[in-house]
Amino acid sequence: MLKLPIYLDHNATTPCDPQVMEVMIPYFTQLYGNAASRSHSFGWQAEEAVDYAREQLAKLIGAEPKEIIFTSGATEGDNLAIKGVFEMYAVKGNHIITCVTEHKAVLDTCKHIEKLGGQVTYLPVNKEGLIDLQQLEAAITPRTILIAIMYANNETGTIQPVKEIGALAKKHGVLFFTDATQAVGKIPVDVIKDDIDLLTCSAHKMYGPKGVGALYVRRKNPRVRLTAQLDGGGHEKGMRSGTLNVPGIAGFGKAADICRQQLETDGKRMSQLRNKLEKALLQLDGTYLNGSKTNRLPHVANISFNFVNGDGLMMGLNKEVALSSGAACTSASMEPSYVLKALGVADNLAYSSLRFSIGRYTTSEEIDFVIEKVMKVVGELRASQIAN
């Protein structure tokens, strides 16, 4: 039997996998030691759990365990990467290149850098949400120290040409940082093959717990150095002080392991469900797909419904279908999505856009219900507008 409401907002957060919960529980109740306590078995057990999780996450992204720094989430990782590079490489330069469709955690951090006297170039995107590699290369100067381009967009699912960006950065001796929060665990990510120097990800986007994330920091060719943003006991190789969230980290490791094993099968299944949903909804007159149709995540569809009031659309759906009208972090704002506006989407279409993000546990039956419900609500709203 169909259980309502149906959750199609997996880009905002994912449910914790039961296997992840199972791994975490002992570290709350029995193995509750501090991983920094080196004088007794409780601390040793906690440290062992952290080290194992480091190995599990490193294997998912093609890194070495020593290159994984645990954080409270991707936002902290974004701040540490950008501010840490800006301070550490100040002698070399003060110029950062990013993109207008980045997550606010990157954009707002770059605004902070500008207040400190740094220079930031914000690259535009085309109608698919992709940057122009020639524009990127042209923006590099002798004072450029970092290129910060996200792996996949949280609103549209568009995947940037990461491998090519990495190659350009390496060619010019510039560090490449990518916020891969939406990509890790969903599609294959390899930091070595893609010449990525810094990468952030978050457990709660990949069926792990909230409040724990990671920053990958390359150790060789080149060895990346960061100025710590939190002062304290020098945890995490001096890059991130603070007592480690051992239960969360253990869960993060397990979530990464499950994602690595199920990456291909999960991706294929979610892609099929997404395509089914998209094909049906795009048959409605006045509907438009936002972002790239080819270079995108397998589980995301961002669709605009013309001749429909966005608030009315969400109100008609949200009791039975949980989804987003933009990024969860900015959905309280009445402004149209800055990501969609950057793609050239008109305000009226940006206001009436929905982001459908499918998950590991989404069923075909649920997709059938959502298709029927969306079509019904859109039809009713358009009929009422004509009547008025």
Q: Is beta strand 353-357 parallel, antiparallel or unpaired with respect to 300-305?
A: antiparallel
Cα 44 to Cα 28: distance, rounded to the nearest angstrom: 15
For the record, the structure tokens of 46 come out as 């906690």
Query: Largest Cα–Cα distance in the chain?
Result: 75
Cα 50 to Cα 28: distance, rounded to the nearest angstrom: 14
For the record, the structure tokens of 267 come out as 């991706």
Q: Three-state DSSP class for 116?
A: coil
For the record, the structure tokens of 32 come out as 């509750």
Q: Which of 16, 110, 201, 329 is catalytic?
A: 329
Cα 181 to Cα 102: distance, rounded to the nearest angstrom: 11
DSSP one-letter code for 283: T
Q: Three-state DSSP class for 201?
A: strand
Cα 155 to Cα 338: distance, rounded to the nearest angstrom: 10
For the record, the structure tokens of 180 come out as 């891969």
- Nearest by Cα to 210 from 15, 8, 9, 4: 15
Residue 142: exposed, middle, or buried by beta-carbon count in 10 A (0-12, 13-18, 19+)? exposed
Cα 359 to Cα 314: distance, rounded to the nearest angstrom: 20
Q: Are 81 and 240 in contact (CB under 8 A)?
A: no
Cα 215 to Cα 236: distance, rounded to the nearest angstrom: 11
Tokens 């991706």: give the residue: 267
Whether 201 sits among the annotated catalytic residues: the reply is no
**Range 314-353 burial, b when 16+ CB lie within 10 A, else e:** bebbeeebebbbbbeebeeeeebbbbbebbebeeebbbbb
Active centre residues (catalytic): 329
